[in-house]
Amino acid sequence: KNEVEQSPQNLTAQEGEFITINCSYSVGISALHWLQQHPGGGIVSLFMLSSGKKKHGRLIATINIQEKHSSLHITASHPRDSAVYICAVGVAGANSKLTFGKGITLSVRP
Amino acid sequence: GAVVSQHPSRVICKSGTSVKIECRSLDFQATTMFWYRQFPKQSLMLMATSNEGSKATYEQGVEKDKFLINHASLTLSTLTVTSAHPEDSSFYICSATRVPGGSQYFGPGTRLLVL
């Protein structure tokens, strides 16, 4: 079993829809990261969180430490949100090393 | 702030040659830099962790003599793929942190194709 599991594997949505991407992990963590990777390959760090909830624009990330689960929400989705969304966890005591989920490919249709 | 650059963005080389990839933190000093590789449709895999002035720590299965890492300053780390082979063709990404345990800032990646 992977230490970081993401669901769903692929996701297609219509422009304007509310989207939720999930991440579950099985190890103790220092922090959880949500990353966005566009088709060209470049990676953008969206959020780093260790508790509660963070919001940036149309993106919201939440984490439940007890349940070892995090969600990334996208409100009013747009075709430019189409990308791979990767959940990564910083394993406790591992000096910033990240363990990555396989990523979810999101496609938002106009 | 917190911009990380990589050079080159794309490189094609012949089998047997060596290729150097640079990773720079442009507006901050990086205590630690990480090197990852990513095969198509797969997630990032950590190759090594690099701290300025000390030897890199390689992950299990990564050959340190093939993937030479030099972290010469707090803003520059280089990865040299020596005697490259077609199976080394991949997307190589670096990241950098300001402080231990802090956010990682990712470079745009370098796509290597070995013919």
The string of pLDDT tens digits covering residues B103-115 is: 788 898 999 999 9
Give B62: exposed, middle or buried? Use CB within 10 Å, 0-12, 13-18, 19+.
middle
pLDDT over 90 at B60, yes or no = yes
Q: In the structure, what pLDDT confidence band is assigned to residue B100 with cuts at 50, 70 and 90?
A: confident
Cβ-defined contact of A98 to B109 (cutoff 8 Å): no
* Amino acid occupying residue A76: A
Q: Which residue has the higher pLDDT, B51 or A87?
A: A87
**Nearest CB to B43; choose among A48, A95, A101:** A101
DSSP state of A3: S
Closest in A30, A35, A101 to B101, CB measured: A30
Residue holding tokens 């297609």? A12
What's residue A94's pLDDT?
59
Please indicate whether, in this complex, the C-beta atoms of B109 and A31 are within 8 angstroms of each other. no
CA-based nearest residue to A14, from A72, A105, A82: A82
pLDDT score recorded for residue A43: 86
**Cα–Cα distance list, B33 to A31, A45, B86 (Å):** 18, 15, 26
Instruction: Please indicate if any CB of chain A lies within 8 Å of the CB of B6.
Output: no
What is the pLDDT, as a whole number, of residue A106? 96
Instruction: Determine whether the interchain pair A42/B43 forms a contact, defined as Cβ–Cβ distance below 8 Å.
Output: no
Answer whether B83's CB lies under 8 Å from B66's CB. Answer: yes
Mean pLDDT of B27-49: 90
Q: Higher confidence at residue B42 or residue B93?
A: B93
pLDDT at residue A1, rounded to an integer: 58
Distance from CA of A100 to the nearest CA of B (A): 7
Q: Which of A32-36, B3-7, B98-102 shows the lowest mean pLDDT across its residues? A: B98-102
- What span, in angstroms and rounded, lies between the C-alpha atoms of B58 and B55? 9
Q: Which of B7, B23, B25, B43 to mutate to test the interface with A (most CBs of A within 10 A)?
A: B43
How far B34 CA lies from chain A's nearest CA (Å)? 8
DSSP letter at A75 equals S
Hey, are the CB atoms on A100 and B43 less than 8 Å from each other? yes
For residue A92, what is the nearest residue in chain B, using CA coordinates? B101
| Candidate from A41, A90, A102 with C-beta closest to B91 | A41
| Over residues B3-12, mean pLDDT | 94
- The predicted pLDDT at position A11 comes to 94
B99 phi, psi to nearest 5 deg: -130, 155
pLDDT at B53 > cutoff 90:
no
Digit-by-digit pLDDT tens for chain A (110 residues) are: 568 999 888 999 999 999 999 999 998 888 899 999 988 778 888 998 989 999 999 999 999 999 999 999 999 999 999 999 999 998 766 566 888 998 999 999 99
Output the pLDDT for position B99: 80
In this model, does residue B1 exceed pLDDT 70?
A: no
Q: Can you tell me the distance from the alpha carbon of B84 to that of A10, in angstroms, rounded to the nearest whole number?
A: 34
Determine whether the interchain pair A42/B102 forms a contact, defined as Cβ–Cβ distance below 8 Å: no
Best probe of the B interface among A44, A97, A99, by most B CBs < 10 A, is: A97
Least confident of A57-66, A71-80, B36-45, B79-88: B36-45
B11: tokens are 């490189």
The residue with tokens 């079993």 is A1
